[in-house]
């Protein structure tokens, strides 16, 4: 069996070896799919939750919070680490954030455009992550208001979230490019 080779600085490299090298040397190698996810559920009768956590280096954590179209969401993060932020991803989205904390100072307040699970992604900027720095943070999430009824419907939509108890250790994963 013969493989085509590609010269790389005078060395013949097969496509398989080249693919392996690119995978290993890729900046996001090993980080893909390593985002820890934690569901946030509010305590009975509550409309908010506070989570104290920490991340180290390239750790990232997604806090998943169910909410309905028309409700208001307020998310803020306090941290002494100047390179730690959060993004918010809309229901069904896995990469593109509609809110970027590194540009908006870790404070979001707005009316939600859709019903479903929102992801609040806590991460450290690459400059600090590659030095394996540690960041402690306090994340506060508030959902308020009544869900907006669907067009042509008299239903109020799904009920508002009802609870927020962390069920997984509060370590996290680093953010990918946003």
Nearest to 70 by CA among 119, 116, 106: 116
Strand partners, 74: 109, 142
Residue 11 lies in a domain: no
DSSP state letter for 21: H
Return the minimum-mean-pLDDT range out of 7-11, 77-81, 120-124.
7-11
CATH code for the domain of 142: 2.60.120.380
Residue 129 lies in a domain: yes
Residue 85 lies in a domain: yes
Residue 168 lies in a domain: yes
Structural domain total, the chain: 1
State which residues form the domain around 56.
Answer: 33-178
Task: State pTM to two decimals.
Answer: 0.67
Residue 8 lies in a domain: no
The H or E element containing residue 85 is: strand 84-89
- Tens digit of pLDDT for each residue in 59-112? 999 999 999 999 999 999 999 999 999 999 999 999 999 999 999 989 999 999
Residue 81 lies in a domain: yes
- More confidently predicted of 162 and 99: 99
């Amino acid at each position: 069996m013969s493989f085509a080779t590609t010269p790389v600085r005078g060395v013949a490299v097969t496509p398989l070896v080249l693919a392996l090298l690119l995978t290993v040397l890729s900046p996001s190698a090993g980080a893909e799919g390593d985002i820890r996810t934690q569901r946030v559920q509010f305590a009975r009768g509550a409309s908010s939750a506070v989570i104290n956590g920490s991340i180290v280096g390239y750790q990232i954590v997604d806090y998943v919070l169910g909410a309905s179209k028309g409700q208001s969401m307020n998310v803020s993060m306090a941290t002494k680490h100047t390179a730690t932020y959060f993004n918010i991803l809309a229901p069904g989205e896995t990469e593109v954030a509609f809110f970027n904390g590194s540009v908006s100072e870790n404070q979001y307040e707005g009316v939600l455009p859709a019903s479903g699970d929102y992801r609040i992604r806590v991460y450290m900027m690459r400059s600090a992550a590659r030095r394996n720095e540690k960041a402690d943070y306090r994340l506060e999430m508030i959902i308020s208001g009544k869900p907006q009824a669907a067009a042509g419907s008299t239903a109020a939509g799904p009920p508002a979230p009802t609870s927020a108890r962390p069920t997984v250790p509060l370590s996290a994963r680093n953010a990918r490019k946003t």
